[in-house]
Structure 1
Amino acid sequence: MLQSFTERKVEMRERGRWQIGAMAAVGLVLLGLIGCIQAVSQGQAEALSQSTPKREQITMKKGSEVNPELVAANTRFGFKLFSEVLKQNQNKNVFVSPSSVAIALAMVYNGANGTTQAAIAKALELNGITLAELNQANADLQVLLQNPDPKVQLAIANSLWARQDVPLKPDFLQRNQQFYGAEINNLNFNDPQAIKIINGWVKENTRGKIEEIVDSISPMDVLFLINAIYFKGDWTQPFDKTLTADRPFFRADGSQKSHPMMSQQGDSRYLETEQFQAVSLPYGERRRMSMYILLPKKAAPITDLYQKLTAENWQQWVTQFRSRPGSVQIPRFKLEYEIELRRALSALGMADTFDASKANFSGMSDLQTHIDQVRHKTFVEVNEEGTEAAAVTSIGIRATSATLDEPFTMVVDRPFFCAIRDNQSGSVLFMGAIVDPQ
């Protein structure tokens, strides 16, 4: 039986835990800040650089529930971001973590002011949510999401890697520590080992699935802020490996290839419309998290489905799934994905944050800075046992329905959309378009 949210919060406060040890999905925010800001002394820098980093426990508001306005905002942001990414990746596999990008931008948001803060708020679809409300809601959501099931591992962690002797504004640090559990590290960026150390953290916290995100450190970069998300879930009903067989998969261009297809029968939460079939495949004992797969009807190209992938439609669809007997075949797949998100985020209203003459990150630094790049890497593997996924987001900042009772058959043998959703909070953790499974 699901543990109540209140009991979960009490238990987490009693344990005082902030887990990052079992991480396979990481969202990394890379911040290159310039600034003379309230000083961290030489002694403090040396002490921090020589000590083992300590993770701060996230503060969860007593008696609070996850703010539904944040979940709704994240959902709107996620589908709009996905739509922009698709424009750059037509007829290609796509897999992103909107939760990773949203958390990364929320932390950056804590250092933004003026029109720059407004631009990020527009992109994140915050619609009047205050900074204090945003931070508390993210803290509550992170506590709720962690380790939701004995057979599902999910954790979120954040850290800041500062150039030695760089002074940081205390309010910016305090908020990221209190609400995002950020740990503070000092590092000699002139040391050739600095890149290896940061990438080592990324590799460790993705279990080797993503080995690097930082390939160089500019003399202008003074801070890396890292957000980490981990997901690994076993199917509630594993696929029988003996039923996996090579079958044809039809690409969007009409060509086909032979590919391993996993099969199972039984009751599944299912939805069918005139445009698509959809199934929800749960993870773990509690079925709190699921992978949703949307498959266009054979007469419809997947691009038609893309046009209907909005937050409003998604919220309507997820309420319409009903348990039905049937059979499901899905491809076993594994892919790595990488994209630069500057163009997509600019289209969502953040263009000024990339403009050196307009960006205002005075909450981080007393000198003018701007976002230089936003890199995003992901990894996903879906097999008979379950799903493993990883994501890294790097932000560089520089100065200047059919009948319910009738059995269905769903053969996912052509391009399809998929998403991993926390069914309790409604948060969409990952979403992807698989047009050519590898």
Structure 2
Amino acid sequence: MNRQKFSGVKENFLQRRYGVSLGRRYVLAAASVVIFGVLGCSQIDSNKSALAQSSLPQSETPLEKKTVNTDTKILESNNKFSFKLFSEVNKSDGGEKNIFLSPSSVAIALAMTYNGASGSTQQAMAKTLELQGMNLSEINSAYATILKQLLDNQDPKVQLKIANSLWANQDIKFQSEFLKRAEDFYQAKVSNLNFQDATAVNTINNWVKDNTDGKINKIVGQIDPNQVLFLINAIYFKGNWSNAFDKNKTAEYPFNIASGRQKQYPMMSQDGEYKYYENEQFQAVSLPYGKDGKISFYIFLPKQNSNLKAFSQNLNLENWEKWMTQFNKQKGFIRLPRFKTEYDVTLNSALKALGMEEAFSNKANFSGMGKNFAISQVKHKTFVEVNEEGTEAAAATSVGIVATAFRQEPKPFRMIVDRPFFCAIRDNQTGSILFMGSIVEPQ
């Protein structure tokens, strides 16, 4: 896509303000925070704000319509980063506990942060985020386009809101171009705060709470003396199944935990026609949300002769894209547990392993924001609940920066999700992976 076309898309995007109905019960929410601490003093020009929010786009049936008018290079970069991040987190946890991440939220927060990186720090972040070969203008314009497509929709049963904000210490000076790009391309609300005031924490947390329908109540615990900036991304998704599960069919069945033990869990059951794919290693099904199925909940169930660890070793962008083309409509029966789980992780080690180590060191160069910045900590917390009517989930990521020094009609399938499985929530129009996780033990 040429620069002129991107510019036109950007101008249209920046002129819009999006509305969203928050009345439904089932919600998916994500929040990402980038926290900055530095030496020195100055201030941001104004308390400008811009919030992107809306429901998701309409189209034909999922998986039959490919990505439309979207910068596919950025989408590929985001999804590649998503699988790399999940793999690194999975390594550290050893496959013994539930994992649930919002890679889109993390990627957006880090993309805004990337606008302040320079020199070898920018190169290191580009490697981690898979942004090599793209200049900053192309990256930001592509994100503006993707955000617009994600949010441009009329389906009343499936809604998505994406909001960004920058909260700055009123005594610290930041590069005006850095702030302007956050506003222009990411529709970020930019505000000054007195970080010495005890109410500053509540102000930030209330914004996150408001933009995640109360699913993320607290992302900032306290503001240390050397903290100067918080970049926050919040993703809010609300969707009911296109075909809700009958609560009367929910019953107790055994679930085989990775340790070899069995536990009884309430399992939801349903017959119908689904997008389905099966190979020698796993069964997979797509359960759509809303009227048009633009977003789906994907379940990948390793077969009895395999396991979740083996599946995870094959989980990468190349295989994912190949698998997405193999789903075909097929009649069948599915049984899966109602589940609810919470997860938290510090992402420092994972991001360093992916090539961002310099950004955490005294060699970090964030001169595009100001002077002497380095990342101190990246925290990620999530919550997810799946039941008969839909899905509810939340995620929060905080990044702290401190001063440095089918084709034939097959027979109906049976998919009994009674052992650890992988799942993902994907926007089928853009291909963006909003959430992904492995469920070892429903809680």
TM-score in terms of structure 1 length: 0.90
Q: Is the 8 A contact 2:13 2:144 kept in 1?
A: no
Counterparts in 2 of 1:217 and 1:420: CA distance versus 1, 3 Å:
same
Q: Which moved more, 1:381-390 or 1:261-270?
A: 381-390
Identify which range, 23-32 or 164-173, moves more after superposition.
23-32
Per-residue deviation, 1:320: 0.2
The whole-number CA distance in structure 1 between the counterparts of 2:198 and 2:43 is 25
Partner of 2:387: 383
| Cα deviation, residue 54, structure 1 | 3.1
Residue 127 of structure 2: aligned partner: 122
The equivalent residue for 2:173 is 167
After TM superposition, give the deviation of residue 31 of structure 1 in Å: 2.1
Identity %: 53
Matched, 1:66 2:70: yes
Residues of 2 paired with 1:98 and 1:123: CA distance?
Answer: 13
Report what 2:414 is aligned to: 409
Amino acid of the residue matched to residue 434 of structure 1? I
* Preserved contact between residue 42 and residue 174 of structure 2 (Cα < 8 Å): yes
Contact 1:370 1:398 in 2 (8 A): yes
Q: Which residue of 2 aligns with 1:289?
A: 295
Correspondences of 1:123-162 after superposition (within 5 Å): 123-146=128-151, 148=153, 149-162=155-168
Residue 198 of structure 1 aligns with an amino acid whose one-letter code is: I
Q: Which amino acid aligns with 1:115?
A: S
Please say if 1:17 is aligned against 2:23. Answer: no
* 2:71 pairs with 1:55: no
Amino acid at match of 1:427: S
1:87 paired to 2:82 = no
Counterpart check, 1:374 vs 2:378:
yes
Gaps of 5+ in 1: 1-8, 59-63
**More displaced 10-residue stretch of structure 1: 105-114 or 130-139:** 130-139
In 2, Cα distance between the equivalents of 1:276 and 1:82?
A: 19
Cα shift at 1:32: 1.5
In structure 2, which of residues 107, 132, 148 is the aligned counterpart of residue 102 of structure 1?
107
Q: Which residue of 1 aligns with 2:329?
A: 323
Residue type of the alignment partner of 1:385: E
CA RMSD of aligned residues (A): 2.2
**1 CA distance for matches of 2:14 and 2:186?**
18
The 2-side partners of 1:78 and 1:13 are apart by 25
> 1:231-286, CA deviations, whole angstroms, 9 ceiling, x for partnerless residues?
11111111111101111000011101000111100111111100000001111111
Deviates more, 1:84-93 or 1:195-204: 195-204
Residue of 225, 233, 239 corresponding to 1:233: 239
SS in 2 for 1:436: coil
Aligned equivalent of 1:397: 401
Secondary structure of 1:262's aligned partner: strand
Aligned 8 A contact 2:31 2:212 in 1: no
CA contact (8 A) 1:18 1:181 kept: no
Cα distance per residue 1:134-171 (max 9 Å; x no partner): 11111111111116422111111111111123222110
Aligned equivalent of 2:354, options 348, 363, 369? 348
Q: Distance in 2 between matches of 1:161 and 1:66?
A: 30
Match of 2:339 in 1: 333
Distance of 1:347 and 1:81 partners within structure 2: 9
Contact 1:294-1:417 within 8 A present in 2 as well: yes
Which of 22, 30, 35 is residue 31 of structure 1 equivalent to? Answer: 35
Unaligned 5+ runs, structure 2? 1-8, 54-67
Residue 4 of structure 1 aligns with which residue? none
| Deviation for aligned residue 1:87 | 1.1
Question: How far did residue 34 of structure 1 move?
Answer: 2.0
1:26 and 1:310 mapped to 2: Cα distance?
23
Distance 2:178 2:242 in 1: 41
Return the letter of the residue paired with 2:401.
I
- Size of the aligned set, in residue pairs, is 413
Q: CA deviation at 1:375?
A: 0.5
Q: Identify which of 228, 235, 242 aligns with 1:222.
A: 228
CA deviations 1:280-317 (Å, max 9, x no partner) are 11111111111110000012121110101011000000
Question: Which stretch shows the higher mean deviation, 103-112 or 162-171?
Answer: 162-171
Letter in 1 for 2:120: T
Q: Deviations over 1:75-133 (max 9, x none)?
A: 11100100001012221000001101111110000000000000110001113121111
* 8 Å Cα contact 2:163-2:211 kept in structure 1: no
1:184 matched to 2:164? The reply is no
Q: Which residue of 2 aligns with 1:3?
A: none
Q: Displacement, 1:220? A: 0.5
1:363 matched to 2:368? The reply is yes
TM-score (structure 2 length as normaliser): 0.89
Amino acid at match of 1:218: D
Q: CA deviation at 1:402?
A: 10
User: Are 1:77 and 2:81 counterparts?
Assistant: yes
Amino acid at match of 2:373: T
Note if contact 2:160-2:238 (Cα within 8 Å) is conserved in structure 1: yes
Q: How many angstroms apart in 2 are the aligned matches of 1:261 and 1:300?
A: 22
